[in-house]
Amino acid sequence: MEVHVVNAGFNFVVTKRLTLFGDAYYVHSEEDYDRPYLGSIKSPNPWSEFDVSDYSDLEFDEYRISGGLAYNLKENLTVQVKATYADFDEDEYYMQDRDADVVYVTAGVKWNF
């Protein structure tokens, strides 16, 4: 299995109460399967000619970019909104084009005590 990940982000304090933030994320992953050699099996096996090696290889890319803002209502109370776009690309033909794009927004409240 081989996986490569790159991630970068930023926080920018606009005012004492307002912070902008964002990040970008990339993953490339590959996995391949090699059929095991089972030389000790002597009995005829009808599946021995069936090779799943090509159908067990996986390769995909994921791209994700996010941005949002956090606003301090009080010293210990913050609200946050974040929007994210993600793109998944599957590169194997037998996966029936399982590419996907998604956009989602999250919101939250943080209370420090």
pLDDT, tens only, 17-69: 999 999 999 999 887 776 666 665 555 655 555 555 656 677 888 999 999 99
Q: Whole-prediction pTM value?
A: 0.70
In DSSP terms, 19 is beta-bridged to: 13, 70
How far is Cα 7 from Cα 23, in angstroms, rounded to an integer? 7
* 112 assigned to some structural domain: no
Share of the chain above pLDDT 70, in %: 73
Q: Which domain holds residue 16?
A: 2-32+56-67+84-103
The whole-number pLDDT of residue 31 equals 79
* 110 assigned to some structural domain: no
* 24 assigned to some structural domain: yes
Count of domains observed in the chain: 1
